[in-house]
Amino acid sequence: TFPLALDVGSGRGYIAQHLNKETIEKLIQVDVAENALKSAVETEIPTVKVVADEEFLPFKENTFDLVVSSLSLHWVNDLPKAFKEIHQVLKPDGVFIGAMFGGDTLYELRCSLQLAELEREGGFSPHVSPFTAVADLGHLLSRAGFNTLTVDTDEIQVNYPGLFEVMEDLQGKCMGESNCSWNRKPLLHRDTMLAAAAIYREMYGNTDGSVPATFQIYYMIGWKYHESQAKPAQRGSATVSFGDLAKIEGLISRGKK
């Protein structure tokens, strides 16, 4: 059970719908977008909504038993600092459970736009926000102070009629995932967009005429240190050699006889 939990980048409170009072007694929802918090869905858990930046959490150290975050950390400018802020507000033996978009997200769309711009305009600029590589995630969490880390990755593929439907869905009310980069190009020429749609269908199109959009998701769990947590054995204290592991089956069968 977690008496006090924090949802970082809560948006409209989608995580809260999957929590219950038996597990979490009180939930603080934090997001930089005030309108998203105002339209948050109702939940059975008592909640408090706070407008704040993930990189500057307005809470005291050692406050929360649990911190969760779902698909919002790719918007953060300084991810290492956000992880440090989360670690700081956790109590000792508290846990952070998060999910964020990974580096292969929307690779079909990105590649198609880049090739089309190179062909039609002689260069390209980013039209999709940058993502973190999975190889860096464990290191960033460790640097922030988390231990007993678990990092996993998954891919979800969604099929659309074409490139324009992909972009409409990304920029629509459900996702609201426009590019947040300052150096982005504001508009694409019509010819470039048509070329990108053709490239998308030619390179990645399915046999039924639809096109796939890949979303890579990283799942992470990290704990704040507490002396009660299990500790690794000291170096040199092992009593069995890894070289003997291959003999285990033989030893077990002999023991049964």
Extract the tokens encoding 198. Answer: 């053709």
pLDDT at 256 over 80: no
What does the pLDDT read at residue 186?
Answer: 58
Q: Phi/psi of residue 213, each to 5°?
A: -125, 120
Mean per-residue pLDDT for 15-26?
Answer: 90
Class of domain 1-101: alpha beta
pTM, 2 dp: 0.79
Distance (Å, rounded) from C-alpha 257 to C-alpha 254? 5
Q: Buried b / exposed e across 225-249, counting CB within 10 Å, b at 16+?
A: eeeeeeeeeeeeeeeeeeeeeeeee
CB proximity list for 171: less than 8 A, separation 6 or greater: 177, 178
In the sheet that 211-223 helps form, which strands lie side by side, from edge to edge? Answer: 47-51, 24-31, 2-8, 64-70, 90-101, 211-223, 147-160
What does the pLDDT read at residue 120?
Answer: 81
Q: Which residues sit opposite 83 in a β-bridge?
A: none
Q: Which has the higher per-residue pLDDT, 133 or 51?
A: 51
What does the pLDDT read at residue 204?
Answer: 95
pLDDT at 149 over 70: yes
Domain boundaries, the chain: 1-101
Helix (H) or strand (E) holding 64: strand 64-70
Q: Phi/psi of residue 101, each to 5°?
A: -70, 140
Distance (Å, rounded) from C-alpha 155 to C-alpha 98? 16
Q: Which residues sit opposite 102 in a β-bridge?
A: 132
pLDDT at 207 over 90: yes
pLDDT at 70 over 90: yes
The string of pLDDT tens digits covering residues 81-120 is: 999 999 999 999 999 999 999 988 999 998 998 898 888 8
Please, which pLDDT band fits residue 133 given cuts at 50, 70 and 90?
Answer: confident
Please, which pLDDT band fits residue 131 given cuts at 50, 70 and 90?
Answer: confident
| Contact between 98 and 69 (Cβ < 8 Å) | yes
| Contact between 217 and 71 (Cβ < 8 Å) | yes
Mean per-residue pLDDT for 193-215?
Answer: 93
> What percent of the chain lies above the pLDDT cut of 90?
52
Mean per-residue pLDDT for 185-198?
Answer: 80
Rounded to a whole number, what is the distance in angstroms from the first to the last CA of the chain?
47
Q: Which residues sit opposite 4 in a β-bridge?
A: 26
What does the pLDDT read at residue 125?
Answer: 62
Residue type, 210: S
